[in-house]
Chain A
Amino acid sequence: MIARLTTGATPRGLLLLALLLAGALIAPIFAGDYLLTLLILILYFAYTGQAWNIMMGFAGQLSLGHALYVGLGAYTAAALYVHFGIGPWLGLLAAVPIAASAGAFIGFLAFRFRVGGVYFAILTIAVAEFARVGFDHLAWTRGSSGLFLPVAQYSHNDLWQLRGHPVMFYYVLLVATALAFIFCRALLYSRIGYFWLAIREDEEAARAAGIDTFRYKMIAVVISAGMSAFAGVIYAFYYNNLFPEQVFHISRSIEIILAPMVGGVGTLFGPILGTFILEGLSEGLRTLLGILGVDVPGIKHVFFGIVLLLVVIAVPEGVWPWFARKFGLMEPRH
C-alpha cells in the first residue's frame, strides 16, 4: 500500500517527504509557544486547504464560502458540549453530517439547476453570509454575543474532550492532515478521481463519456464539506469562543483558499506548501518590520493579497508544480 501511495514521487521527493514528516513529529520539542501556535495554524490551513481542494481542484467548483462548513462544524460541536456536555469526538458525529448536508443543499441548488462558474461562487458566498447573519439571531448558540467553552487548563491533556495544551492540538492536526493527504491521494487515483478530473477539465465531454456529472459533483461537495466540519470542531475547542461575525465571515473563506491557490489547486502538496509559504513569509515580514521598529496591523493581509496576486499572474498553476519540477520531486507526468 505504501508503494501505491508513493507512485509518482522520485526518490528525492520521498526523502524530502520523510524528512518533513520526521521534522513535524519532533518539532514541538524544540518550538517555543509562539512557534507552536504558528505551526498549528499552518497545519490547520493545510488541512482545510485539502478539504477545499476536493471541491475546486478535483471537481472544478469554486467555493468562496467554505467558512460555512467549518462554522457549522464548530458551532454544532461547541453547542453540544456547552448544552449537553457531549465531547468533541462524539460531537463530530453530528457536526460532519450537518456540514455535509449544507454542502449537499448548495450542491443540489447549484448542480440541478446548472449553476456554475461565477454563479456558483456567488451562491456559496451568499449562503455563508446567510449563516453569518442567521447565527447572529440564533439563541441556542448565543447569537452575536458569542458561544464560549469553559477554558481549558494547559497542565492536563484530555484528548477525549480536547482540553489541554496546544501541543495536543498540534498532534491531532498533524495526524488529521496526514490522513487527509492519504485520503485525497487515494481518491484522486481511484475511479472517482478520474471522473472528477474529467468533470473539471471539460464537463460536457465528461457527460459524453457517460459520467453522471451531477452525482460526482455532489459527492465532491459533500466530502469537502464534511471534512471541513472536522476543522471546525478543532477550531471551536482550540479557541474556545465562537462569534458568527468571525466564524462565518468571508475573510475566513478567503483564508481557506489562499493556501491551495498559492501552492497549487488540484495538487496534493499544494495546500501544504502554500500554507508554509504564506505563514512563513508573513512571519518573516512581521519580524523584519519589527526590527525596523514598524508595526502595521493588517499588513499581513495586504501581504497575502500581494502574494496571491503574484501567484495568479506568474505561477497560475501554483508554486508546488514549479517547485516539484525544479527540484525533481515528482515524476514528470504528475
Chain B
Amino acid sequence: MSVDIYLNVAVGGILTGLVYGLMALGLSVIFGVVRVVNFAHGEMMTIAMYIAVTLFTTFHFDPLVMMVPIAAVLFAFGYLLQYSLINAFITRPEYSQFLLLIAIAIIIVNVLLILFGPDAQNVQTSYAYDSFQLGPLIVDATKAYAGAAAIATTLALFLFFRYTALGTAIRACADNYTGALVIGLDVKRLYALTFGIGAACVGAAGVMLLLIFDVTPAVGPAYTLLAFVIVITGGLGSMPGALVGGLLIGLTEALAGLLFTPSAKSMFAFAILVLVLLFRPQGIMGKRAA
C-alpha cells in the first residue's frame, strides 16, 4: 500500500481522534472535579446523537448547526442529574457511585432501544460524500468539519477554565474541596455545573461523531469504554491528557483498521489500555497519586 493511503487514513484517524478527545475531555472534567466516575458517559452521548438524528430526519436541521442547542440540552440533563441524584453519592463508597451510574446507563440504553429500535441510524448531510484535497491528502468533509468543531469546542473550554471566574472557581473545587467550601463557594452548584459541562462536551462530541459513524443504542457502552481507555491512557484527571489520548486512540484505531480487519480495531484500544495500566498507570500525562 502506498504512503498516500496510510497518510489519508492517519489524517482521518487524527480528525476522529480530536472528537474522541473532546468526548474523553468531558469524562476527565467530571472526574477531575466532581471525582465521580461517569459510567454513563457514552450513553449520555447517544442521547445527543439520537436527538440530532431525530432533528435531522424531521426538520432536516444540519447536526453541526444543532450542536450548540443539543449541547445545551445535555448540559441541563447533566446539571440536573448531578444536582438531584449523584451529589448525594459523593461521600459514598466508590463502587456505590459506579453502580448508580451503571443503573442510569442501563436505563438510558434500554429506553433508547425502546424508542428507536436496534437498527443503525445515521445522518446523510449534503456534504456527506464531499472531500477536500490537499496535495496527496484526501480528507472527508465530514471528518474535517467534525475535527474543526472539536478544536473550536476544546479551545472554548480551555479558555473558560483558564480565564473566567466561574472556570477558576471550578478548578478550585477540584484542587481542594474543603478549601473551596471554606471560602464560600457553592460547591454543590459548581459540581452540577461541571457535570453539565462534561455532559455538554460529550453531547457536542456525539453530534460530531454522528457525521462520521452510525448510531445504535448499543454504541453507548462501547463509547463509555472508549472514553475510559482514552482518559486512562492520557491520564485520569488531566485535561490535555484526554486530548492526547484521544488522538492516540483515533490514530491507532484507524491504522489498525487498515492493517488488520476493521472489526478488530477495538482490540488495539484494549491492548493499549492493558499496556498503560501495566507500565504507566498514571497515563501519559497524569501525575502519580501521592
B106 & A133 in contact (Cβ 8 Å cutoff)? no
Instruction: Say whether B128 faces chain A, with CB atoms less than 8 Å apart.
Output: no
B270 & A137 in contact (Cβ 8 Å cutoff)? no
A254 & B102 in contact (Cβ 8 Å cutoff)? yes
Instruction: Say whether B278 faces chain A, with CB atoms less than 8 Å apart.
Output: yes
Instruction: Say whether A306 faces chain B, with CB atoms less than 8 Å apart.
Output: yes
* Chain B residue with the shortest CB-CB distance to A118: B37
Q: Residues of B contacting A207 with CB < 8 Å?
A: none
Instruction: Say whether A293 faces chain B, with CB atoms less than 8 Å apart.
Output: no
Instruction: Say whether B176 faces chain A, with CB atoms less than 8 Å apart.
Output: no
Instruction: Say whether B263 faces chain A, with CB atoms less than 8 Å apart.
Output: yes
Bound: A169/B25 CA distance, A: 48
A133 & B274 in contact (Cβ 8 Å cutoff)? no
Q: Residues of A contacting B105 with CB < 8 Å?
A: 305
B100 & A312 in contact (Cβ 8 Å cutoff)? yes
Bound: A305/B109 CA distance, A: 10
Partner of B229, one of A64, A126, A297: A126
Bound: A302/B92 CA distance, A: 24
Q: A312-B99, A316-B92 are in contact. Are A115 and B281 (CB under 8 A)?
A: yes
Interface positions of A from 288 to 304, Cβ below 8 Å from B: 296-299, 301-302, 304
B99 & A261 in contact (Cβ 8 Å cutoff)? yes
Q: Residues of B contacting A68 with CB < 8 Å?
A: none
Q: Residues of A contacting B95 with CB < 8 Å?
A: 56, 62, 117
Stretch at the interface among B46-54, B110-118, B137-145, B162-170: B110-118
Q: What secondary structure prevails in chain A residues at the interface with B?
A: helix
Could you mark each residue 51-72 of chain A with 1 if its beta carbon is under 8 Å from any beta carbon of chain B, else 0? Answer: 0000010000010100000000
* Chain B residue with the shortest CB-CB distance to A136: B263
Instruction: Say whether B77 faces chain A, with CB atoms less than 8 Å apart.
Output: no
B273 & A126 in contact (Cβ 8 Å cutoff)? yes
Could you mark each residue 272-316 of chain A with 1 if its beta carbon is under 8 Å from any beta carbon of chain B, else 0? Answer: 000000000000000000000000111101101110110011001
Could you mark each residue 25-50 of chain B with 1 if its beta carbon is under 8 Å from any beta carbon of chain A, else 0? Answer: 00000000000010000000000000
Instruction: Say whether B2 faces chain A, with CB atoms less than 8 Å apart.
Output: no
Partner of B99, one of A119, A306, A308: A308
* Chain B residue with the shortest CB-CB distance to A134: B267
B103 & A122 in contact (Cβ 8 Å cutoff)? no
Q: Residues of A contacting B110 with CB < 8 Å?
A: 298-299, 301-302, 305
B281 & A122 in contact (Cβ 8 Å cutoff)? no
B229 & A312 in contact (Cβ 8 Å cutoff)? no
Instruction: Say whether B261 faces chain A, with CB atoms less than 8 Å apart.
Output: yes
Could you mark each residue 257-280 of chain B with 1 if its beta carbon is under 8 Å from any beta carbon of chain A, else 0? Answer: 000010110110011011001100
Instruction: Say whether B186 faces chain A, with CB atoms less than 8 Å apart.
Output: no
Interface positions of A from 12 to 56, Cβ below 8 Å from B: 56
* Chain B residue with the shortest CB-CB distance to A126: B270
* Chain B residue with the shortest CB-CB distance to A113: B278
Q: Residues of A contacting B106 with CB < 8 Å?
A: 254, 301-302, 304-305, 308
* Chain A residue with the shortest CB-CB distance to B114: A298
* Chain A residue with the shortest CB-CB distance to B260: A137
Q: Residues of B contacting A56 with CB < 8 Å?
A: 95
Q: Residues of A contacting B264 with CB < 8 Å?
A: 133, 137
Partner of A133, one of B104, B109, B266, B277: B266
* Chain B residue with the shortest CB-CB distance to A316: B96
Instruction: Say whether A114 faces chain B, with CB atoms less than 8 Å apart.
Output: yes
Instruction: Say whether A330 faces chain B, with CB atoms less than 8 Å apart.
Output: no
Bound: A134/B265 CA distance, A: 11
Could you mark each residue 150-186 of chain B with 1 if its beta carbon is under 8 Å from any beta carbon of chain A, else 0? Answer: 0000000000000000000000000000000000000
Q: A297-B114, A302-B111 are in contact. Are A250 and B221 (CB under 8 A)?
A: yes
Closest Cβ of chain A to B231, distance in Å, is 9
Closest Cβ of chain B to A98, distance in Å, is 19
B274 & A123 in contact (Cβ 8 Å cutoff)? yes
Bound: A136/B96 CA distance, A: 33
Bound: A308/B105 CA distance, A: 11
Q: A122-B273, A312-B100 are in contact. Are A117 and B94 (CB under 8 A)?
A: yes
B270 & A130 in contact (Cβ 8 Å cutoff)? yes
Q: Residues of A contacting B261 with CB < 8 Å?
A: 137
Instruction: Say whether B228 faces chain A, with CB atoms less than 8 Å apart.
Output: yes
Partner of B96, one of A110, A133, A306, A312: A312
Q: List the 10 closest A-B pairs by CB distance, nearest first.
A: A305-B106, A305-B107, A309-B103, A308-B103, A301-B110, A302-B110, A126-B270, A298-B113, A118-B37, A130-B270
Q: Mark A residues whose CB is within 8 Å of B.
A: 56, 62, 64, 109-110, 113-115, 117-119, 121-123, 125-127, 129-130, 133-134, 136-137, 250, 254, 261, 296-299, 301-302, 304-306, 308-309, 312-313, 316
Interface CB pairs A-B, < 8 A, 6:
A113-B278, A301-B106, A301-B109, A302-B110, A305-B105, A313-B100
Known: A113-B277, A134-B267. 4 other contacts (CB 8 A): A118-B98, A129-B270, A302-B106, A312-B103
